[in-house]
A and B are shown apart, each in its own frame.
Chain A
């Protein structure tokens, strides 16, 4: 599904990603962990097509197609979805109108007819219930005045609406209380499918109790320095990043 080879990226002349290699197959769930500032969000933004970051070397393909040459909207329509670590607030743009435009852009790309307002409303209400968001949120501005946890649930709701092929979840678990973590995890598990890949970025092993990954990778200073199974996360939780030879200026758990 997703193949990342020797990916280098920089921002404002500063090299952040220094040769990432990662293969994700359909149906798999991969987790990426790593210290603050190691480049996890940069990787996710580069995959989604944020032009703030310059790809200086390497290749990324999605089902064989060169992802890096597609503009952001084309990547989204091909099924790349990024749940942002910090979803932006857009006052004045109604969530409902935004989501319907997004869903219809996707449907058009797939050769399907537009959803009318009533059909969409029905669907949107269903998925908002699935992430335990009051449908009243649909009428508000995009993320406008949403609490941290509500923003994260809104991101997962969008993933459920758009049904991506590759869902990248950047710290979708941070800032969630225990109940919300359960709700969000259930949402992510609902996304798990044989034809879909999920890449989750997290600092906390507790998320992985709910969403059990097939692989765990450790990203440090722009490189994946270790990969393993589910047990790697437990080890990181217990020992921090220090045992990997990394100066541990962060904690993997609170």
Chain B
């Protein structure tokens, strides 16, 4: 298990044979741009805290089987699309034939739809592999995807229940997967998209995801992201969002730590009056890791952004939050609010938080705050003095730290899954002695 040092040696080119011509061309372009790009090290600015968790081996370079079956997700209710190892499984999926909504897999695209997908792909994410000492591994996805989903909403189309996308990684042996989702939301359309990242099998694998949203004027899109993959999965995910006039985007992410967990969320407020709200909850324990990088670009005037991320780190785990707000010169009357609160459950845990503000307009409101604290002993004593076990007291206090954000997740099924995961986390983190 030799470890790789350059991207081209780490990731073999494979087929993508089922893809339509415009996507194949784009894929080849991206792949050549990545040739000889070095893998990040701790000296790489945006991988400073995470490079040591990135442990890629030659075995992970090849794609995971493209025909693996979905397994036991049968009893899922509602509109569902299942991807296994980045490939859509129509037989396991169930989504509506609704006027104004089209859900197509990449390999079925042709004509204008194929052009649209190629046009959208990578547009909301920086297309430079390396810049200012940073390395953009999200580009790997565009160089390696085998399939993907194009979701199109015609103007005014409203989906009245969430669309659930299950990204299943089947890790029966080592390899990598590159799931990709594109959402083109026409003006005044509405959709809640839930992405649930799960895995089966125990072999070391890498999952590199890309999800891109393009919101037309007045579109209202909610993105929910849940990660409960196994500890054998190294996960690097990217979500890119472009927002036109008066559109609204809300993101709710719940992440459980792993060997490598990284999510980059990049929102571009391109039209006046656009608003985004980004919530994130992360819990880590053992020697787990989780790294959230967010960027909000205020490009047009009169846009609002509201961001709240909370991390809880137990044992010897490590959680990272890097929040960048970039207010462009023309983005007058911008209103940006960023908060990151962190809870260290042990002295051995580590949390790094870094706000980055770049403000080039003069008439803006921009507030940010970051705190790192521990559970309050006085509060624990108060609760325990009423007969609660120390564990229950700590669970109540820890839940209180994130409950506000969990409660805002607009999909009950996701809240339930999140709470189940949180309870398992508490069972481990607060073992009774």
Question: Which of A's residues lie within 8 Å of B, judged by CB?
Answer: 48-52, 71-73, 75-77, 81-82, 84, 87-88, 90-93, 97-99, 101-102, 105-106, 109, 141-142, 158, 162
Contact B387 A90 (CB under 8 A): no
Asked if B392 is at the interface of the complex by the 8 Å CB criterion, the answer is yes
Contacts of B132 in A (CB 8 A): none
Given A73-B390, A101-B392, A105-B392: A91 in contact with B400 (beta carbons within 8 A): yes
Q: A49 to B382: give the CA distance in the assembly, Å.
A: 11
- Name B residues whose Cβ lies closer than 8 Å to a Cβ of A: 376-379, 381-390, 392, 396-397, 399-401, 403-404
Q: A90-B397, A92-B400 are in contact. Are A73 and B389 (CB under 8 A)?
A: yes
Q: Which residues of A contact B386 (CB under 8 A)?
A: 76, 81, 98-99, 102, 105, 158, 162
Main secondary structure of the interface of B (DSSP, over half): helix
* A87-B382, A105-B392 as given contacts; A92 in contact with B404, CB under 8 Å: yes
Cross-chain pairs A/B with CB under 8 angstroms, 19 sampled: A48-B385, A50-B381, A51-B381, A72-B385, A73-B384, A73-B387, A76-B387, A77-B387, A84-B382, A88-B376, A90-B379, A91-B400, A97-B396, A98-B386, A101-B388, A105-B389, A106-B387, A142-B382, A158-B386
Q: Which residues of chain B are within 8 angstroms of A72 by Cβ–Cβ distance?
A: 381, 384-385
Known: A84-B382, A90-B379, A90-B382. A102 touches B401 (CB 8 A): no
In the complex, the answer to whether B388 meets A105 with C-beta atoms within 8 Å is yes
In the A-B complex, list the 8 residue pairs whose CB atoms are closest, starting with the nearest. A92-B400, A76-B387, A102-B386, A105-B387, A93-B400, A72-B384, A88-B382, A73-B384
Most chain-B Cβ atoms within 10 A of its Cβ — which of A71, A88, A93? A93
Bound-state CA distance A75–B389 (Å) is 11
Q: Known A90-B397, A92-B403; judge A109-B385 contact (CB<8 A).
A: no
Q: Give the complex CA separation of A88 and B386 in angstroms.
A: 13
User: Which residue from chain B places its CB closest to the CB of A109 in the assembled complex?
Assistant: B387
* Given A87-B382, A88-B378, A88-B379, residue A93 in contact with residue B397 (CB < 8 A): yes
Which residue from chain B places its CB closest to the CB of A97 in the assembled complex?
A: B396
Assuming A73-B390, A101-B392, A105-B392, is B400 touching A90 (CB within 8 A)?
A: yes
- For the complex, what is the distance from the CA of A97 to the CA of B377, rounded to whole Å? 20
Docked pose: A72 CA to B401 CA in angstroms: 24
B387-A162 in contact (CB<8A): yes
Interfacial chain A residues near B377, Cβ < 8 Å: 52
Excluding A105-B388, A162-B387, 14 further A-B contacts by CB distance (< 8 Å) are A51-B381, A73-B385, A73-B387, A73-B388, A73-B389, A77-B387, A81-B385, A88-B382, A90-B382, A93-B396, A101-B392, A102-B383, A102-B386, A162-B386
Q: B396 contacts A98, CB within 8 Å?
A: yes
CA distance A97 to B378 in the complex (A): 19
Closest chain B CB from A89 CB (angstroms): 9
**How distant is A197 from chain B, measured CB to nearest CB, in Å?**
17
State the Cβ distance, A192 to closest chain B Cβ, in Å.
21
Could you tell me the distance between the alpha carbons of A48 and B376 in the complex, rounded to whole angstroms?
Answer: 18
Residues of A within 8 A of B390 (CB): 71, 73
Chain B residue with Cβ nearest A106: B387
**Cβ–Cβ < 8 Å partners of B399 in chain A:** 92-93
How long is the Cα–Cα vector from A109 to B388 in the complex, in angstroms? 11
- A99 to B396 Cα, complex, angstroms: 12
Rounded to whole Å, the gap between the CB of B72 and the closest CB of chain A is: 33
Q: Whole-angstrom distance between the alpha carbons of A75 and B385 in the complex? A: 8
Chain A residues whose C-beta falls within 8 Å of the C-beta of B400 in the assembled complex: 90-93, 141
Q: Which residue of A lies closest to B389 (CB)?
A: A73
Q: Of all chain B residues, which has the CB nearest A48? A: B385
In the bound assembly, the distance between CA atoms of A90 and B399 in angstroms comes to: 12
Q: How far, in whole Å, are A109 and B401 apart by their CA atoms in the complex?
A: 29
A112 CB → nearest B CB, Å? 13
Residues of A within 8 A of B376 (CB): 88
List residues of chain B with CB within 8 A of the CB of A88: 376, 378-379, 382
Question: Hey, which chain B residues are within 8 Å of A109, CB to CB?
Answer: 387
Q: Which of A73, A76, A142, A162 has the most CB of B within 10 A?
A: A73
| Nearest CB in chain B: distance from A129 CB, A | 20
Residues in chain B near residue A99, CB distance under 8 A = 386
With contact pairs A73-B388, A92-B401 given, residues A101 and B379 touching in the complex (Cβ less than 8 Å): no
Whole-angstrom CA separation of A158 from B387 in the bound complex: 11
CB-CB under 8 A from A87, the residues of chain B are 382
CA distance A81 to B382 in the complex (A): 11
Contacts of B388 in A (CB 8 A): 73, 98, 101-102, 105
Considering only CB atoms, which chain B residue lies closest to A45 in the complex? B381
Considering only CB atoms, which chain A residue lies closest to B404 in the complex? Answer: A92
Tell me, rounded to whole Å, the shortest Cβ–Cβ distance linking A47 to chain B: 10
Within the complex, what minimum Cβ distance (angstroms) separates A61 from chain B?
A: 19
Which of B379, B388, B390, B401: most chain A CB closer than 10 A?
Answer: B388
Of the candidates A49, A84, A91, A101, the one having the most CB atoms from chain B within 10 angstroms of its own CB is A101
How far is it, in angstroms, between the C-alpha of A48 and the C-alpha of B392 when the chains are bound? 18
Q: Which of B385, B396, B397, B403 contacts A76 (CB 8 A)?
A: B385
The CA-CA distance from A106 to B392 in the complex, in Å, is 13
A11 to B186, CA, bound (A): 66
When distances are taken between beta carbons in the complex, the residues of chain A under 8 Å from B384 are 49, 71-73, 76
Nearest chain B residue, comparing its CB with the CB of A79: B387
Question: Which of chain A's residues have a CB closer than 8 A to the CB of B383?
Answer: 90, 93, 98, 102
A252 to B384: give the CA distance in the assembly, Å: 32
Closest to B395 in A: A101
Q: How far is the CA of A162 from the CA of B399 in the complex (A)?
A: 24
Highest count of chain B CB atoms <10 Å: which of A81, A82, A87, A88: A88
B residues in contact with A49, CB < 8 Å:
384-385
| Chain B residues within 8 Å of A50, by CB | 381, 385
Q: Which residue of A lies closest to B401 (CB)?
A: A92
Q: Write the nearest CB–CB distance from A78 to chain B, whole angstroms.
A: 9
How close is A182's CB to chain B, nearest CB, in angstroms?
25
On whether the beta carbons of B396 and A82 are closer than 8 Å, the reply is no
In the bound complex, how far is the Cα of B402 from the Cα of A113, in angstroms? 30
Min distance, Cβ A104 to any Cβ of chain B, angstroms: 9
Enumerate chain A residues within 8 angstroms of B382, measured Cβ to Cβ: 84, 87-88, 90, 142
Closest Cβ neighbor of A77 among chain B residues: B387
Rounded to whole angstroms, the CA-CA distance of A59 and B194 in the bound complex is 60
Whether A102 contacts B397 in the complex (CB less than 8 A), given A92-B403, A92-B404, comes out as no
